[in-house]
Chain A
Amino acid sequence: MTTPPDTNRALDIAPVGARTHWEVGGPPVAGATEVRAPVGVLAYEPADMTITVGAGTTFDELDRVLAEQGQQCALDPRSRAATVGGILACGLSGPRRLRHGPVRDHVLEVRFETGDGRLVKGGGPTVKNVTGYDLPRLFVGSLGTIGVLHQATLRCRPRPVRSQWFTGVDTARAFRPAARLWDGRREAVLLEGVDVDVEAEGRGLAALAAPPRFPDGPHRGRISVAPGAVRACAAALTRTPSESASAPGEVRWCAELGVGTIHVAADDAAALARARSVAHAHGGWMLREAGGSAADDGYGCALPNAALMRRVKDAFDPAGKLNRGRLPLGAVHA
């Protein structure tokens, strides 16, 4: 899906990063004025383990700068071309959230422009801070609907000496692994640490030459279920043979064990819609990430606390200028 060229300088505003998450939450309305955030590292003090970057900075650049000092920020977007602003706005965490926490736990301070044109700072630059309300967490996952991010201060961590994926039957016994994945055929576990620990924990498992890949295809989504339901939900995505004659196309999936996220991909929109109904049957929902149809926008369930969320939206964007058409408020794209 593409956004028509900006011809009429409409009131609508759509922040743009690298467009790697562009279809998440539905495209902004046609004619929205696209705005871009500053690019580059603004401050980096390795001994504080904090970095401040312009929101337009790509994850690739961020990771390269941190790696030079033996540090990392485990935002782990699907594409390294994604910008920090896009990652925060979408709030979609990578598989290492199992050990390193979700995107929202890496953000210390945000500076964004509200819908009524005020530059607002929330949070603070230190690794610990409870001064005032937690605007950084409110911003993460808000899909650009409460403000246009200018810059963010992120918490960094030491980069592990060794990082190795393994596969085997007993990936559950590893102590707090960085990630655990299951695609229906095999389980994979990412072990991080010093060599001796990774080797000891990996004993009895087989090292993988390359990390597992998430399924890809023209139609993609991300299912969320309670971690206790993830195996049952994922298994239900696999068609049984009796269904295969009449059921729509195959759903390819990879589940994050211990987290509750299942990445799904399909070659046709109907299969994605089926994945969503499976998610519902297991008490969860599916966020469309790419492809699908307009009917697949939203979470496919009533938005919880919608009235309260509407008041939050109005508090930051009273005229409704920002990313009209995108989630989270519209349950269905209109």
Chain B
Amino acid sequence: MTDLRACVGEGRASDEPLELALYARDAGVAVGRADAVCFPGSGAEIAAAVRVARRHGRPFVARGSGTGLAGGSTPLGDPVVIVTTQMNRVLEVDAQTCVAWVEPGVLNLDLSREVAPLGLHYAPDPSSQQACTIGGNVGTNAGGPHCLSEGVTSAHILAVDVVLPDGTEARLGSLAPDAPGYDLRGCFVGSEGTMGIATRIAVRLTPDPPCVATILCAFDSVEAAAATVSGVIAAGVLPAALEMMDARITQAVEDFVGAGYPRDAQAVLLVEVDGLEGGVATQVDAISSVARTNGATLVRVAADDAERALLWKGRKSAFGAIARIAPDYYLHDAVVPRTKLVDVLRRVYEIADAHELIVMNVFHAGDGNLHPLLVFDRREPGIWDRVYAAGTEILDACLDAGGVLTGEHGVGIEKRDLMARMFSVDDLDAQARLRDAFDPDGAANPQKVLPSGSRCGELQRVPDGTWI
């Protein structure tokens, strides 16, 4: 602690039980144990904190706001938790080249607000964007509704200054296109803190579109809504965002914020298209036509910005609204090919029914990115076993349909032991070797992403308490 205080300053490092408890988990369900927690104010302090941890034989875990849902920043192996929230400055904005340098603790929405007067925004917009940090977004390669047309975080990160797990500093990527050598920037983004800590991030900013249209479509069945999603993509339209909510979540949202969604719909789609006027009009027509062909009971284009904002407020408040249904929820994140949405959603409801659980669906339908929410009350005996079993079956159904384990939340600890369902022994070994190239001692966020035993025949040299 003395060494840690020496590098980040008195009052910015703690081993008080209350503080440690606060940082023992993120927004997921796994709980770990921090050995110490610190709040560095600069990249140099992060580097110093990493070196202190390593000198004392401790691993370290980076953390932003702790909004992650997969346990990615849950401290395991008694690490030093390095919290980046004090580093929340937008350092430079170049409106000409649409680049901003930011510290890792800048909140996602704060960045977009700061550059809004320049007619720019930061495109990835996770539902937690009011609270989550850009550093955390880099860690998980975060998504969001508008990633359908703009791509997830990695497509918006040009360069990252990092502290590598050995405590040295490096710049990965560059403002100039295609930095020499391997795309280490690409490896780092989405590595969930297992390859080091970002201290400065160069993000690409996106010009605001001159024209935006938001369409609300309602349907009598989830199948009709899902068929509309597949139909829109098949018609050659790639909206800016294409979100779906089922009846339960729609009603919960209406009770919560009164966003103007129809309460009697079995499913609603929120579709946004943007760009130039002609293209927007063409896409609105195409989407409306596909929706009506699939039996939409309502197709309404938001009349003005206020109505648009309200519709989006409803979508982004979905998780808050669930508290009105049951005290706890377990949120999954998986992706299926867009052509399989109808079948997979039907399976999701069947699985929940079989386990006598309530499932709600609110998700990035255009990407095929499902977020089935199992709501429950943890006081009910045996409920966790049913929630866990149903969740695993849902993920299996997604994989069987040609999908993947996670689309934007990350593997963390939650899906670590499911990795073998998607990857072969050799696939996992290759990933483990890549991680080892960055972090040969397994000091950065240990026991995450890869299951123990990922390294072929090398278990004997794995340090105690990290991978086994």
Contacts and interface: CB of A to CB of B under 8 A. Distances in A.
A175 B275 contact: yes
Given A102-B177, A121-B424, A308-B164, A130 B278 contact: no
Interface residues of B, number: 86
Contacts of A135: 430-431, 434
A130 B190 contact: yes
Contacts of B339: 45, 47-48
Interface in A169-217: 175-176, 193-197, 200-201
Interface in B431-468: 431, 433-438, 440, 449-450
Nearest to A121: B427
Instruction: Assign chain A's interface to a size class.
Output: 35 or more
B426 A119 contact: yes
Interface in A204-233: 224-228
B153 to A, nearest CB: 9
A308 to B, nearest CB: 7
Interface in A250-292: 258-261, 283-285, 287
A244 interface: no
A70 interface: yes
Interface string B6-34: 00000000000000000000000000000
A14 interface: no
B267 to A, nearest CB: 19
Contacts of A16: none
Contact of B433 (A285, A301, A316): A316
B293 interface: no
A209 B222 CA distance: 49
A312 B143 contact: no
Contacts of B279: 193-194, 197
A258 B172 CA distance: 21
B2 interface: no
A105 B236 CA distance: 20
B430 A118 contact: yes
B237 A124 contact: no
Interface string A300-325: 01011110110111111000000000
B74 interface: no
Interface stretch (B39-47, B128-136, B316-324, B363-371): B363-371
B338 A328 contact: no
A137 B94 contact: no
B182 A138 contact: yes
A258 to B, nearest CB: 7
Contacts of B406: 129-131
B238 A49 contact: yes
A227 B175 CA distance: 7
Interface stretch (B213-221, B243-251, B257-265, B397-405): B397-405
Q: Which 10 pairs from chain A and chain B are nearest by CB?
A: A137-B186, A196-B278, A315-B433, A47-B234, A124-B404, A311-B437, A328-B181, A197-B276, A197-B278, A226-B175
Given A122-B431, A128-B408, 11 more contacts: A122-B427, A124-B335, A128-B364, A132-B422, A159-B236, A194-B276, A194-B279, A228-B96, A287-B180, A312-B437, A316-B434
Interface of B: 94, 96-97, 99, 140-141, 143, 147, 151-152, 154-155, 164, 170-172, 174-184, 186-187, 189-191, 207, 209-210, 230, 233-234, 236-238, 275-279, 282, 335-339, 364, 367-369, 402-411, 415, 419, 422-424, 426-431, 433-438, 440, 449-450
Interface of A: 45-50, 70-71, 91-93, 97, 101-102, 104-105, 114, 118-122, 124-135, 137-138, 140-142, 146, 157-159, 175-176, 193-197, 200-201, 224-228, 258-261, 283-285, 287, 299, 301, 303-306, 308-309, 311-316, 327-329
23 contacts: A49-B233, A50-B337, A101-B155, A118-B430, A122-B427, A128-B367, A130-B190, A131-B411, A133-B191, A134-B186, A134-B187, A135-B430, A141-B183, A175-B275, A176-B207, A194-B279, A227-B175, A260-B176, A299-B180, A306-B181, A309-B184, A315-B430, A328-B181
